[in-house]
Amino acid sequence: MSFVAVDWGTSSLRGALIDEAGHVLDERHAPRGILGVPAGGFPAAFDELFGDWMAPADRRCLISGMAGSRQGWIEAPYCPCPADAAALAGRVIPVVPGRIALVPGLMHSHDGVPDVMRGEEVQICGAIQLTGLADGVFVLPGTHNKWVQVQGGRVLGFRTYMTGEFYALLAQHSILSRTVDPAAPLDAEAFAQGVARSARGGGLLHNAFGARTLGLFERMSAAQLASYLSGLLIGEELRAQAMNAHADVVLIGAPALTARYALALEGLNIHPRVLGAEATWAGAHALHSALTGANAHFP
Amino acid sequence: MSFVAVDWGTSSLRGALIDEAGHVLDERHAPRGILGVPAGGFPAAFDELFGDWMAPADRRCLISGMAGSRQGWIEAPYCPCPADAAALAGRVIPVVPGRIALVPGLMHSHDGVPDVMRGEEVQICGAIQLTGLADGVFVLPGTHNKWVQVQGGRVLGFRTYMTGEFYALLAQHSILSRTVDPAAPLDAEAFAQGVARSARGGGLLHNAFGARTLGLFERMSAAQLASYLSGLLIGEELRAQAMNAHADVVLIGAPALTARYALALEGLNIHPRVLGAEATWAGAHALHSALTGANAHFP
């Protein structure tokens, strides 16, 4: 039985029609993130993009991402770690009973401070399926990057890093915006210099000012400084990890971002596997299978 | 002979009429930082605020701060470290020969990345005079904080931390702006929790996200979160220092800021001395004396 998988984030909406074997039959996306949906407007926004896919009376849909947040369609309480696909499937929340359900996000605490994700948990389930890895470090770059510890096929815990948002703030709103050109393509050498600078310590609060002075003294161009700043931030994120060179690392995300993380990791002699959108659909398929097998119940 | 000292920063302009013994006879300020002065408008802006003070034909003026930058009145090349008041006095740049001169900023490099200050060097000279300390760590909180190593009465080197700017970016422009109330007064306990969180590691990119989730789970109010975020940032700045509990530490700046650094340092059993605007005027007096003594020459 084919089904519809939807990843409804803060700023974008993506969906796929997937057959019983997990093959993607069709894909759609629209710039209709939850921030662009008015109160009460979720059913209409959903119908507009996926109404025809949902026409068959027995067609089901699983939605993940920020659509399950307080500002979303219906709030889906977080699932605690450790958790795997079965645990997530057991906690999906009905939106239209028997037809549309929301996948909960994951929650994990460090020293009493909670950490959360919404949507990435489906990508991780998919990446476990696609790579066959039951143990490893799964990294999901983005505005709020996730570093996820997977053991025995379950998410043990994770940490969020605001690396993508810090980059946008610094490149667009700080004093660095005067000397940094965020539209420039990646300069691998300047990027590596940034990563190396962070690895030597000094701290981000100090090192970021170097992206100002290197411009002031014309040691780097605005294009180079964009890559240098990106390297500083990703280098700072790597420095916070207790990286084990023998651990399997899986990068999941948009190619432009995963390429930067792969570059930085290769500098530590770590050679990650890289996945893209296919991880989301594979994860949704795993959850859907868990909800439609024998003894299973789609809520 | 009394003289005029001016501290002309990015967003504000302050001046004092100071007598030969260093007593401040009068003080003025205006929201006319260099960013608010049109090209070629520096003489008029100066006259408007200080014209009457400059009426006596032998009255001199020393200007420090961003007025000596490329976007300022006249660019005053940076003085390299190590440097003391005499070295700075020897490099002042005439603006109106014999009447008005600009104090150069300081420059110092780490691993080939330059660091700079403009204006703080005068405050440090003043703080050395006022405290009688020839050795110590001088800290100048602000948008771009300076941590300065003083030895034998000279500035050996320094590092800039963008702590103040990061706070403004995160509290006003990031996702944290939804749950943080930057107008709230200091909550000492939430601040201490932020400092302690940074001291345990994890890195700013991760810890900052905690200021989001603690709000999401209603563990802290928007007022508490502002102090928590401030503590995270100042704690991260402290963590980057190799602090010696026996070192003399001098804080120089606005009371609302120095109070936060004093709180954080006291948690490390370091009891700093605290100075305000008087350090600027004492430093200008030291430089002026060096420029008007026997064998000296006001450029």
CA nearest to B229, candidates B248, B210, B213, B247: B210
* Rounded Cα distance, A209 and B160, in Å: 7
Which of A162, A170, A228 has the most B C-beta neighbours within 10 Å, making it the best mutation to test the interface with B? A162
Q: What is the pLDDT of residue A26?
A: 98
Contacts of residue B262, defined as CB under 8 A and 6 or more positions apart, other chains included, come to B251, B272, B274
CA nearest to A126, candidates A247, A244, A7: A7
Span(s) in chain B for CATH 3.30.420.300: 3-131+278-292
The CATH number given to A161-275 is 3.30.420.310
A237 in contact with chain B, both atoms CB, cutoff 8 A: yes
Span(s) in chain A for CATH 3.30.420.300: 3-118+280-292
Mean residue pLDDT of chain A comes to: 95
* Rounded Cα distance, A97 and B58, in Å: 88
Question: What percent of chain A stands above pLDDT 70?
Answer: 100
The CATH number given to B3-131+278-292 is 3.30.420.300
* Rounded Cα distance, A188 and A193, in Å: 9
Span(s) in chain B for CATH 3.30.420.310: 161-275
Please state whether the predicted TM-score (pTM) of the whole model is above 0.90: yes
Helix, strand, or coil here: A15?
strand
Residue A8 pLDDT exceeds 80: yes
CB atoms within 10 A of CB A216: 15
A115 in contact with chain B, both atoms CB, cutoff 8 A: yes
Q: Report chain B's terminal Cα–Cα distance, integer Å.
A: 17
Residue B244 pLDDT exceeds 80: no
Q: What is the pLDDT of residue B186?
A: 97
* Rounded Cα distance, B182 and B249, in Å: 28
Instruction: Tell me the pLDDT band of A293, cut-offs 50, 70 and 90.
Output: confident
Taking CB atoms and an 8 Å limit, are B237 and A203 in contact across chains?
yes
Q: For the domain made up of A3-118+280-292, give the CATH fold.
A: Nucleotidyltransferase; domain 5 (3.30.420)
Residue B226 pLDDT exceeds 90: yes
Q: Contact at 8 Å (CB) between B263 and B188?
A: yes
pLDDT tens digit string along B177-225?
999 999 999 999 999 999 999 999 999 999 999 999 999 999 999 999 9
- Residue B93: alpha-carbon gap to chain centroid: 21
Residue A135 pLDDT exceeds 90: yes
Single-letter amino acid code for the residue at B81: C
CA nearest to A137, candidates A259, A273, A285: A273
Chain B residues in contact with A174 by the CB 8 A cut-off are: 162, 165, 169
- Chain A stretch 175-234, residues whose beta carbon is closer than 8 A to a beta carbon of chain B: 175, 197, 200-206, 208-210, 213-214, 216-217, 219, 233
State the complex-level ipTM. Answer: 0.95
Question: What percent of chain B stands above pLDDT 90?
Answer: 94
Q: Helix crossing, B278-292 with B120-131: angle to 10°?
A: 90
Chain B residues in contact with A144 by the CB 8 A cut-off are: 175, 209
At residue A237's C-alpha, the angle toward residues B204 and A35, to 5°, is 75
Residue B270 pLDDT exceeds 80: yes
CA-to-CA separations, B286 to B153, B200, B280, in angstroms, rounded: 13, 42, 10
Label residue B233 left, alpha or beta by phi (over 0 means left) and psi (-120 to 50 means alpha). Answer: alpha
Residue B243 pLDDT exceeds 80: no
Chain B residues in contact with A214 by the CB 8 A cut-off are: 113-114
